[in-house]
Amino acid sequence: MAPTGEHHLLSTEILNRGIEPSGPDAGSITFSVRVRRRLPDFVQSVKLKYVKLGYHYLINHGIYLATVPVVFLLFGVEVRRFDTETLWRMLAGYDLVAVLGLLVVLTFTFTFYFFSRSRSIYLLDFACFKPEDDLKVTKDEFIEQARKSGKFDEESLEFQKRILESSGIGDETYVPKSIMSPEKTSTMKEGRAEASMVIFGALDELFHKTQIRPKDVGVLVVNCSIFNPTPSLSAMIINHYKMRGNILSFNLGGMGCSAGIIAVDLARDMLHSNPNNVAVVVSTEMVAYNWYPGRDRSMLIPNCFFRMGCSAVMMSNRRRDYRRAKYELEHIVRTHKGASDSSFRSIHQEEDAQRFKGLKISRDVIEIGGEAIKTNITTLSPLVLPFSEQFFFFSTLIKRYYTGTDKSEGGTTAAGKSPHLLPPAHEDSPLAHSSSSTKPYIPDYKQAFQHFCIHAASKAALNELQRNLGLSDQNMEASRATLHRFGNTSSSSIWYELAYMEAKGQVNRGDRVWQLAFGSGFKCNSAVWKSVRRIKPPAGNNPWLDCIDQYPM
């Protein structure tokens, strides 16, 4: 999800539709939708169809879990009806061939299940790139160097200064030196130079940590949204490390800040299809190549938030790697809202009136992002929540549905308006009294997860997610610290957050980690990891070691 400044969270009440009169999009439908200062209130707008989607996913992937207790229950009831002598007499009366046939069928069934089930996917280790100190820039230095570059007028500089002051970003983030020069930075040369620095830096550290040779890697997935040269970034890595010729390599482009989880999902599918293999996932973004030197305010916002960063993750499906692994992958849930025109254009790469290329952030991105996040979380809930939380949530949701407050399309009230577009009701207003008895029960996600890695898009986005999900400041600590120390590093931010937790020594055996990322498309994706051992604070190779004592601030 692209960062959004406070000034972009203003509300409008009119929904307009029109036709683009001129330009490259002439004749296409344009949208001007209601903009909210907050994310849609999850309490008022839970959609039943996404809850059903979550339970459908659970049934398809774990129906055998429901049959096991039933079989044992029926077997126990039958055994209690007979004593030992009666059972032996019954068995003696059966044909030996029939008994042996039954045993063969049972043996074949359990053998087929054992060999056909998906292999566990382990996360052996990961690395996050930390640039050199000479690339650090404070907020004041950022504005001053932007002024010296001669690319911005005073109004644009003042606008970026206001965004930075409310962004939640600190004074030790990293940017390439080239963006402050008067020369053009979005060149292939600058893009390749930055890519080599961050990608090889992260991979060198990963191979050192895991002691796995590059030639042993069977699957390579690289995601970078904006910079996609030919040959690809994945080919650049293969060439640099002289990887083997039959490696399965993939290069994902244009998929935004949520692409890190998409890349993990692709690596998981490849590992399921290729046993006894190791996969590497690289997530990054090129800051200089995406630098916008124009005056369009909606396209200046990414300049203020995006900073240098890269993560490299080592995954394995080899059973022998269980003992050395840190985490086991439990679930991945992906949500795509691209079928909606407004969602599709909410974060859009285009050129401004001066032909400068950049990312255009629409004014309704907060509401669109909230809808995608809500859909993803609602689908994920049946997979991860304890039974008690699911019972209360589902029962109150059914009550809301049958009382007419919430229909299966989720969300129309008696007034015919979508409830998440309604203003919050005051406690003693008629609206509050009429809906209080039909509010769905919002589960306590702290009972499902011990750690939260929520994409550090902006301070406003983190505040709203904390409010909607009922999370504590401690739950949001890693996300806020990452935004302050490293800025928005796009698809790699969730790994800087996990590195923060490890540096604090917070991850214990059996803990569940929820990674939630969102971005252009509009997409929202979740990954759930379970720690297979206690993660001790690292002695080295962690980007937080020199500053971990400063957090939480």
3-state secondary structure of 371: helix
Strands 122-128 and 29-32: unpaired
What are the backbone dihedrals phi and psi of residue 522, each rounded to the nearest 5 degrees, phi first?
Answer: -95, 140
User: How would you label 230-265 residue by residue, b for 16+ Cβ within 10 Å and e otherwise?
Assistant: eebbbebbbeebebeeebbbbbbeebbbbbbbbbbb
Give helix 188-210 / helix 233-241 axis angle, nearest 10°.
50
Q: What residues are labeled active site? A: 257, 336, 451, 455, 484, 488
Q: Which of 297, 355, 359 is nearest to 488 (CA)?
A: 359
| Positive/negative CA dihedral, 515, 518, 519, 521 | positive
Amino acid at 78: E
Within 13 Å of residue 331, how many CA atoms lie on the same side as its CB? 26
| Concatenated DSSP letters of 26-77 | TTSEEEE----SS---GGG---HHHHHHHHHHHHHHHHHHHHHHHHHHHHHH
3-state secondary structure of 331: strand
Strands 136-137 and 122-128: unpaired
Amino acid at 523: K
Q: How far, in Å, are 157, 193, 286, 362, 522 from residue 308 at the CA level? A: 21, 13, 7, 24, 23
d(CA 299, CA 225): 16
3-state helix, strand, coil in the chain (%, to 5): 50, 15, 35
- Note whether 279 and 217 are within 8 A (CB): yes
CA 131, 484, 518, 158: dihedral to nearest 10 degrees?
A: -100
CB atoms within 10 A of CB 456: 32
Residue pointed to by tokens 């969270």: 9
d(CA 525, CA 516): 6
Q: How far, in Å, are 188, 307, 487 from residue 184 at the CA level? A: 11, 18, 23
